[in-house]
Structure 1
């Protein structure tokens, strides 16, 4: 891992600067000045103690080029600060004013079809545009000069959700920057040709000036996957570079206040390589929006598990989530009674020390008018606002109990995540277009929860050597160094679980030869004690063909089966394919799941896809401790030995938890059971207790 910036948490305006941060995005520029005093009255009623300010306010701050109007922002910050509400001040560059686009249309991004991306939404600018950068950094410096000594501004909020609308830019500026990026990475053109495999389809380039962006190439044309993967890396790096330029422009003037930017991690999105980004912020922040349906809580916990790892176990910041429904999904479900409180406190249970929403006051117009907020259209006398006040009281109670600054206890099991493997699974050149690394991480996480075991989710690039078990679900791409680290982990006594589509390619998108999985020059195969020759891909598209294959242990595979043609003499077969469907595909009795001793440890191969219920059934066979509890239990500890135990009900029916030792701090939608130390958790409940160890 590269060196990180030192952890620095933003202070509140409390007497000691401590407490759980609570509030949300505040956009007073959408409202008349007369609304500000009413907003602050209601914020105090709700126990709000922090707001993110000016995220989309560039045109209010600079209504015409070079004309800066800070008086309104001064007044808002002063009123907030005097009310005890700290300000996380944005760089305001996420959405540029129309006058800038009119004067400089050359800053607008270009899509892969050559169309200009028009202004009117967020991030309608090229990350590589020198013109846009000049305007953006000027604004950053103006803000820093104005508010560097303001005691109410306690943190800087850079940009907003970098990559939301300009992750993929195909402009001439991007092309020039991509060529420079490739030259820096590869050094000489023949190294690039070898990496990209340009001998295929006559793609050899003679000079970096011939390197192209992977623009649209025709109706069913397939992009060179190695070129596309490098373009994904380039897009991540260009936005990270832009973030750092904004941060550093402010830090030169105001170095003493912490910097962050809001990541976008939930299990339906993880667009950037946040394992890199996390090292460039002073505290890690995330925007998390719940997944509709029965996976709601599990998905939240899985995303938070990755956030806690990105923060290296330090507290992290929920910068945005929703009080109820959003307006940007195909299905915008609202939250049920109790979910507003339960979701927020679930983030706390997973290590968050800040709970914030988008946004404070629900917009009356614009693209997000139907996105729920802390103060809804219905106003103060509403279920949502009463829930917001109730949550504020609960967070104050937890702050008073001293939970802020405590850290989440780690699991002994790590599910490894790689942003680059997630990008790679989107390639249209793979044996199946239905692969999704991040969703497989979620399914393994949920399967383990079903078995009563909470795992951590850890970036592949980080240090996971202290875990007992590591799981690699559809980590499609593994470098030689990755494989060596995995083998060393097993040699030292760890258990490694390798998924069916893991290690198929290396970090250049080259297929390892000699059989699958081929990563690591055959070392991964040696560790597993198996070799596969072909992939058996199932799907409804094949009419009158079997759509699933059973295993001897009762599990069913529905997407992908590896045809294992060799196992070492000391490889044990845990399960094989069986039945008429397996026979039809010539897989009858072929090993599907195997276990192989390696050094002091064990290497387990799961050669086919499984759903979360099948994963839960196999947990015991993999040596992972399990039980049948439907409650999730997390522990946060302080440096001086205070322990907070958090219990969440994952079910729609009441769940009992027993042998609870400690004083209840929060007992939301739960009560005492029939025996001492027993609590009954209702739907959408959470119990948090405190004790000194």
Structure 2
């Protein structure tokens, strides 16, 4: 049964198209608002994010509120059938607040309080800041929670960072005490007998500091968990003030690309829907398909946070950024292709930062729909207008699901732990890159993929890939075992099943809870310097049908067979002829162990074989030209297929399939289809 989802707002039951709008920057330019609304309608925009970073305009001095300009803008939006996500302004506090209440400013890990400046330079624990945020949010909700133009709350902006002030230290001690209850349990979990760092009172607990404790990995891990929990608690604090006036108005905040300061999988549970800010570095020194796969990985991760519920692309740029190493212009076609890639992977919106370029300060050269010239007769506006027009033809796609039979585990807590492990390769353990190697090989097979945390349900997938699952939460090994036993295909790599949730090594052999499922035991792991390699050669007539010799690099695990069958062996060094790839038949399924980090050819060959063996459905049942990729969404009766050309040239695609309809022109699709340079087609297929 395919799960369908309601639009994020019943007032806008179609694809959302819009941008961050900052009219407070233009209060001295009264002609701008009228012109902006004309241009928004011309660009087929229907929803704007409004009020972000506007605290100084809304409360210019303490207790003196000024909502007239916001009243006027919302009234104009209502008259023009436009809607807003109204933002809370907590992402940046006004100067008067920092001057009167210096405690609202953050303290760094060096225990020095910051000066006023920047955004997100505020303490989430500070009673004064929480009080001021509550007052502001209640004022906003009292006035706008039932406004006809307001369809949701955009809470703050891109949460991140941490504070080490005394308020936060005490909150951390309370958090630790609640988790461990006794000093004995705390000292055991953090293994504090190492270097005689045993705590004799909870008051001795401090956050990691460069001039203090940084080498208790359990402490480091718990501090990061605390920072996530405290950030979530602050988010809840904001939402509570808003929901008390209208509990039905949805709340969200915008996430960032592969951000590692917060556990987004945990944070996402608090959101009514997920949104994120995507700024691909198109036309860089990377292959275009590598960039496309990297962004696809992020889209799939954000969609997977809430079990497939469509997300919103809350920010993107219609032209360029001003903060990347090289702020490259998008080539013709790329804006639409990039936007539709987000929709293909589960977005029900295309939104931009920003609507109009700022006249001054640090983002005055960041791309926008309207530049400093201020009119519509340019390339960028034309691109945005075309995207808006085409999005109106995709209303049927709204609320549909990405039906994924494959999942890749990418877990934030594991990410923290594996990068803090100090060994075996401190010049680069490359966790993210390793996960991406597996994801990209699956993506190039044109299968739909979920990117999930280790706490998710595995049972709905045919294949689960778990690269470098170094830290395993309690119960994860048992759930993966049941998944394989019931007929699933599991792929695990070197440096998995090493420590538990408090970073204590498993006893009785690695890969810990997965040893029985995988049928192997890891004895040692060899770290290779950059440039050093080994070889991996497949066995003849192995049951997977994999045939070839591959290059291993960086990490090579030395393992013993305990029921598993070797599919490949190392070719060099003292561990020549030891297993490098194994399979264990377990119950109705199979568990594979990849003992080394290998070249891209291995991932392509290995995962293609697994997809075939497991019977996973590809979006199109034929090989596509290099640089062309397919992804799909479905409502259970119709499949919506996005065919995307990431080549800077015309590319012919032979579909060898009839009965497809082009959703953008409503015409039947020829079996021989030509895609423009950076072109995209959206096809409709009836499911039999």
- Indicate yes or no: 2:423 matched with 1:430: yes
Shift of the alpha carbon at 1:302? 1.1
2:590 — aligned with what?
Answer: 602
Give the counterpart of 1:59 among 32, 40, 56.
Answer: 56
2:132 partner SS: helix
Matches of residues 114-263 of structure 1 in structure 2 within 5 Å? 114-163=111-160, 167-217=161-211, 222-263=214-255
The Cα of 1:655 is off from its aligned counterpart by 4.3
Q: CA, structure 1 residues 65+159, in 2 after alignment: closer, same or farther (shift >3 Å)? A: same
Q: Which residue of 2 aligns with 1:3?
A: none
Secondary structure, in 3 states, of the residue corresponding to 1:483?
helix
1:287 maps to: 277
1:551 maps to 2:536: yes
Q: Distance in 1 between matches of 2:50 and 2:608?
A: 49
State the Cα distance separating 1:667 from its structure 2 match.
7.0
CA distance in 2, matches of 1:25, 1:12: 21
Q: Secondary structure at the match of 2:475?
A: helix
The yes-or-no answer on 1:663 pairing with 2:623 is no
Does the 8 A contact of 2:458 with 2:480 survive in 1? no
Aligned-residue CA RMSD in angstroms? 2.2
* Residue 67 (structure 2) aligns with: 70
Q: Is the 8 A contact 2:5 2:399 kept in 1?
A: no
Name which of 631, 636, 641 aligns with 1:645: 641
Q: CA deviation at 1:454?
A: 3.9
Residue 347 (structure 1) aligned with residue 347 (structure 2): no
Corresponding residue for residue 601 of structure 2: 613
Mapped contact 1:27–1:53 kept (Cα < 8 A): yes
Give the conservation status (yes or no) of the 8 Å contact 1:573–1:593. yes
* Deviation (angstroms), 1:12: 6.6
Mapping of 1:296-307 within 5 angstroms?
296-307=291-302
TM-score for both structures, normalised by structure 1: 0.90
Please list, as runs of the form range in 1=range in 2, the aligned pairs for 1:472-621 lying within 5 A after superposition: 472-518=466-512, 520=513, 524-540=514-530, 547-552=532-537, 553-564=548-559, 566-568=560-562, 570-578=563-571, 582-583=572-573, 586-621=574-609
- Counterpart in the other structure of 1:101: 98
- Following the alignment from structure 2 to structure 1, what is the Cα–Cα distance between the partners of residues 595 and 477? 18
Gaps (5+ residues) in structure 1?
1-5, 541-545
The offset of 1:457, in angstroms, is 1.3
Q: Distance in 1 between matches of 2:524 and 2:602?
A: 23
Give 1:49 deviation, angstroms: 0.3
How many equivalent residue pairs? 654
User: Following TM superposition, by how much is the alpha carbon of 1:186 offset from its aligned partner in structure 2, in angstroms?
Assistant: 0.9
Equivalent residue number for residue 319 of structure 1: 314
**SS across alignment from 1:609:** strand
- Tell me, in whole angstroms, the C-alpha distance in 1 between the residues paired with 2:570 and 2:406: 28
Q: Is the 8 A contact 2:7 2:13 kept in 1?
A: no
1:336 equivalent in alignment to 2:334: no
Corresponding residue for residue 543 of structure 1: none
Which residue is 2:32 aligned to?
A: 35
Equivalent position of 2:47 in the other structure = 50
CA positional deviation for 1:615: 0.6
Distance in 2 (CA, whole Å) between partners of 1:97 and 1:338 is 41
1:690, CA displacement in angstroms?
A: 2.4
SS in 2 for 1:605: strand
Q: By how many angstroms is 1:149 displaced?
A: 2.1
> Is the Cα–Cα contact under 8 Å of residues 263 and 412 in structure 2 kept in the other structure?
yes
Distance change in 2, residues 1:613/1:127 (3 Å): farther
Assess if the C-alpha contact under 8 Å between 2:275 and 2:311 holds in 1: yes
Which whole-Å CA distance do the structure 2 matches of 1:611 and 1:60 have between them? 55
Rounded to whole Å, the distance in 1 between the matches of 2:523 and 2:673 is: 53
Greater Cα shift, 378-387 or 132-141: 378-387
Q: CA shift at 1:8, angstroms?
A: 6.5
Deviation at 1:194, TM superposition (A): 0.6
When residues 536 and 291 of structure 1 are mapped into structure 2, their CA distance, relative to the original with a 3 A threshold, is farther
Alignment-derived partner of residue 541 in structure 2: none
Which of 277, 298, 301 matches 2:267?
277
